[in-house]
Structure 1
Amino acid sequence: MHTSTTSTAVLEPWTAEQLVQATQGHWHNAKAPQGAVKRILTDSRHAESGDAFLALKGERFDAHDFIAQVAASGCEIAIVSHPVDADICQLVVADTRLALGHLGAYRRAQHPQLKVIALTGSSGKTTVKEMLGSILSRIAPALITRGNLNNDLGVPMMLLELRREHQYAVMELGASHVGEIDYTSNLVQPDVAGILNVGTAHLGEFGGREGICRAKSEIYAHVAKTGVSIVPAADDFADAIRSAVQTEQLLSFGPGGDVYAADIQLQPQSAVFTLHTPAGARRISLPFAGGHNVQNAAAAAAFALAIGIGLDDIAAGLENAAGAKGRLNFIQYQQHLFIDDTYNANPASMRAAAEVLAQQDGIRVMVIGDIGELGASAAQQHYMLGRDLVSVKGINFVVAVGGFAPAVQEGARSTQYGKKLQAFLTQEQALPLLISLAETHQPQSMSFLFKGSRFTHMETLMADLMEKI
Structure 2
Amino acid sequence: MIALSELARQLPCTISGDLSGDYQSVTQDSRRVSPGSVYIAMPGARVDGHDYVVDAKIKGAVCAIVERQCAVDIPQIIVEDAYQFTVEWAKYARAQWQGKTVIALTGSLGKTTHKELLLALCSQRGPAYATPGNYNNLLGLSLTILNVPANAKTVILELGISEIDEMASLATLAQPDIAYVTNIHPCHLSGLKDETTIAKEKSKIYQSLTEDGLAYINNLDDHVDQFVASSGHCKQQLLHAANFELNQSSIKLDHRAHATFTMKLDGKAHTVSLQMPGKHMVDNAYAAAVIAYRLGVSSDQIVSVLSNHRATSGRMQRYVHPQSQAHIIDDSYNANPRAMEAAIASLGAMQCARKILVCGDMAELGDSATYWHTKIGEWATQHGIDYLLATGAFADSAVMKFDGTKRIVHNHADLLSALQHQLAEGVVVMIKGSRSNHLDRCVQALVAEKTKKEQEVQ
TM-score w.r.t. length of structure 2 = 0.86
Asked if residue 408 in structure 1 is aligned to residue 402 in structure 2, the reply is no
Deviations 1:277-324 (A, max 9, x none): 445332222222221000111121233234343333322221222211
Task: Give the match for residue 338 of structure 2.
Answer: 348
Q: Quickly say closer, same or farther: Cα 1:391–1:110, change in 2 above 3 A.
A: same
- Select which of 11, 14, 32 maps to 1:27: 14
Question: Are 1:366 and 1:398, in contact at CA under 8 Å, matched by a contact in 2?
Answer: yes
Offset at residue 402 of structure 1 (A) = 2.0
Q: Which residue of 2 aligns with 1:293?
A: 281
Report if aligned partners of 1:231, 1:242 keep a CA contact under 8 Å in 2: yes
1:449 aligned onto 2:430: yes
Partner of 2:262: 274
Asked if the contact 2:353/2:426 (under 8 Å) is kept, the reply is yes
Match of 1:339 in 2: 329
2:104 is equivalent to residue 121 of structure 1: no
Write the distance in 1 (CA, Å) between the matches of 2:315 and 2:172: 29
Verify the 8 A CA contact 2:171 2:208 in the aligned structure 1.
Answer: yes
Range with bigger deviation, 63-72 or 335-344: 63-72
Q: Distance in 1 between matches of 2:139 and 2:314?
A: 23
Cα 1:36–1:450 shift into 2, 3 Å: same
User: 2-side partners of 1:147 and 1:377: how far apart?
Assistant: 28
In 2, Cα distance between the equivalents of 1:313 and 1:49? 36
3-state SS in 2 of match to 1:294: helix
Name the aligned partner's letter for residue 426 of structure 1. N
Shift of 1:247: 4.5
User: What are the within-5 Å matches in structure 2 for residues 40-439 of structure 1?
Assistant: 40-44=26-30, 52-64=38-50, 77-81=63-67, 83-84=68-69, 86=71, 90-93=76-79, 95-253=81-239, 258-262=244-248, 263-269=250-256, 270-278=258-266, 280-333=268-321, 334-360=324-350, 361-392=352-383, 394-412=384-402, 417=403, 419-438=404-423
* Structure 1 partner of 2:455: none
- Per the TM alignment, residue 336 of structure 1 is displaced from its structure 2 partner at its CA by 2.4
Alignment partners' CA distance in 2, 1:324 and 1:465: 17
Moved more, 72-81 or 212-221: 72-81
In structure 1, the residue corresponding to 2:276 is in which secondary structure?
coil
State the shift of 1:142 in Å. 0.6
Which residue does 1:16 correspond to in 2? 5
Tell me if the contact between 1:234 and 1:256 (Cα under 8 Å) persists in the aligned partners. Answer: no
The Cα offsets for residues 112-138 of structure 1, whole Å up to 9 and x where unpaired, read as 110111111112011111111211122
Post-superposition offset of 1:167: 0.7
Deviation of 1:462 after TM superposition, in Å, equals 4.7
Retained in 2: the 8 A contact 1:16–1:37?
Answer: no
Instruction: Report the 3-state secondary structure (helix = DSSP H, G, I; strand = E; otherwise coil) of the residue aligned with 1:127.
Output: helix
- Does the 8 A contact of 2:13 with 2:77 survive in 1? yes
* C-alpha spacing 1:109/1:261, structure 2 compared with 1 (3 Å): farther
Structure 1, gaps ≥5 residues long? 1-11
Q: Secondary structure at the match of 2:225?
A: helix
**1:142 and 1:169 in contact (8 A); partners too:** yes
Task: State the percentage of identical aligned residues.
Answer: 30
In structure 1, how many angstroms separate the alpha carbons of the residues matched to 2:197 and 2:427? 41
The residue type paired with residue 231 of structure 1 is I
| 1:123 match: secondary structure | coil
Find the aligned partners of 2:343 and 2:400 in 1 and give their Cα distance: 21
The residue type paired with residue 307 of structure 1 is: L
How many Å apart are 1:74 and its aligned residue?
8.0
Aligned residues: 443
Give the whole-Å Cα distance in 2 for the aligned partners of 1:426 and 1:341.
18
Q: 1: CA distance between counterparts of 2:223 and 2:41?
A: 40
Counterparts of 2:294 and 2:8 in 1: how far apart (Å)? 34
| Deviation for aligned residue 1:43 | 3.0
Q: 1:48 to 1:382 in 2, by over 3 A?
A: closer
Aligned residues of 1:338 and 1:449 also touching (Cα < 8 A): yes
Q: What is residue 7 of structure 1 aligned with on the other side?
A: none
Deviation at residue 271 of structure 1 after TM alignment: 1.4
Contact 1:25-1:91 at 8 Å conserved across structures: no
Output the amino acid matched with 1:372. A
Change in CA separation of 1:405 and 1:94 when aligned onto 2, cut-off 3 Å: same
Structure 2 vs 1, CA of residues 432 and 217 (structure 1 numbering), >3 Å: closer, same or farther?
A: same
Partner deviation per Cα, 1:118-177 (whole Å, 9 max, x = no partner): 111112011111111211122311112111111111111111122232111111111122
Corresponding residue number in structure 2 for 1:8: none
Counterparts of 2:88 and 2:77 in 1: how far apart (Å)? 14
Asked whether the 8 Å contact 2:355–2:386 carries over to 1, the reply is yes
Please state how far the C-alpha of 1:185 moved relative to its aligned partner.
2.0
Moved more, 168-177 or 336-345: 336-345
Question: Under a length normalisation based on structure 1, what TM-score does the superposition of the two structures give?
Answer: 0.84
Could you tell me which runs of 5 or more consecutive residues in structure 2 were left unpaired when the two chains were aligned: 452-458
Residue 36 (1) aligns with residue 21 (2) = yes
Instruction: Give the SS at the match of 1:118.
Output: strand
Letter aligned with residue 387 of structure 2 = F
Structure-1 separation of matches of 2:334 and 2:262: 29
